[in-house]
Amino acid sequence: MTLDTLLNNLGEWRPAGAGPHSFGHALPTGWTVTATADTADTVGARLTDLGVGRQAKPASAAELTDWAVRTAERVTGLLEPLKLIEVDATRSEAVLRSETPAPKGDDVQYYEVLLKGTHAATLNRYQAPRTGPGKRRAVPFALTHEAIAKVVGDLTAE
């Protein structure tokens, strides 16, 4: 399986000192995996972002929408399922977010995947006020190495 080497490399990733720490791995499928983490150990990482990318190629609005819908259905290794929020054909971007954000005190937390064309995706987690004014902010999220590999596999599946 192409993700076995990703799992092995994640298992060997032991950044020292204070973060952020960067990780990169090229898959034989042409996709590259990137991650930024506060910490990483033998089991998982406390990520600030997880991304996949490959050589850019033009994508129609229909192709982008199809990829977004399939990705929302496929990515199942996160705390909340994802749903398609928006497709911006002009910018060739799509946004997926947690279907039901998780309550955290007076705030909510949710995952967001930004798709760029059919060649890049970035996963982040955000915290925002449940009600009223206020800005969202990116927050770290913990995933095991197996969960990271599953999300990567789901994002890069054809």
Give 2's contacts (C-beta < 8 A, 6+ positions apart). Answer: 27, 28, 29
What's this model's pTM, rounded to 2 decimal places?
0.93
* Pairwise CA distance, residues 57 & 100, whole Å: 32
Query: Does residue 19 carry a pLDDT above 90?
Result: no
pLDDT tens for each residue of 60-116: 999 999 999 999 999 998 999 999 999 999 999 999 999 999 999 999 999 999 999
* Pairwise CA distance, residues 126 & 109, whole Å: 5
Q: What is the pLDDT of residue 1?
A: 47
